[in-house]
Amino acid sequence: MSDCIFCKIARKELKSTIVLETEKLVAIKDINPQAPTHILIMPKAHYSTMNDCDDREILADMLDAAKKIARDLGIDKRGYRTVINTNSEGGQTVFHLHMHFMGGKPLAGRMG
């Protein structure tokens, strides 16, 4: 997907702050953070939404990345939130599969 912004970020054609990178995924700081820590974990391969991704391994890798980031930041015990928005009613605005990782403050409460 040549004109997808997250594909461009994954290919390093667009600038971002990378916090974790593996062969198949990248985790970057969100440009408009909604919490003290707000990271986006995404596959390097393009899937428009979670509905379009049948690769169980990359979905598991995204969850493993979240656990690692939480441990590395020392917030695994305090807690954090992981969210995948899908399509319009899910609030998805960038159509390249990504998981939000948010933490660093109490997030308990309404989910939307």
User: What binding mask, one character per residue, do residues 23-62 give for Zn ion by CB under 5 A, x or -?
Assistant: -----------------------x----------------
Distance of CA 58 to the CA centre of its chain: 12
Radius of gyration of the chain (CA): 13
CA distance 62 to 71: 14
- Please identify which residue in 85, 97, 101, 102 interacts with ligand 5GP, judged by CB under 6 A: 85
Q: How many residues bind ligand 5GP (CB under 6 A)?
A: 13
Tell which positions 9-48 bind ligand 5GP, by CB under 6 A. 16, 28-32, 40
Phi-psi category of 91—alpha, beta or left, where left has phi over 0 and alpha has psi -120 to 50? left
Active site residue 98: yes
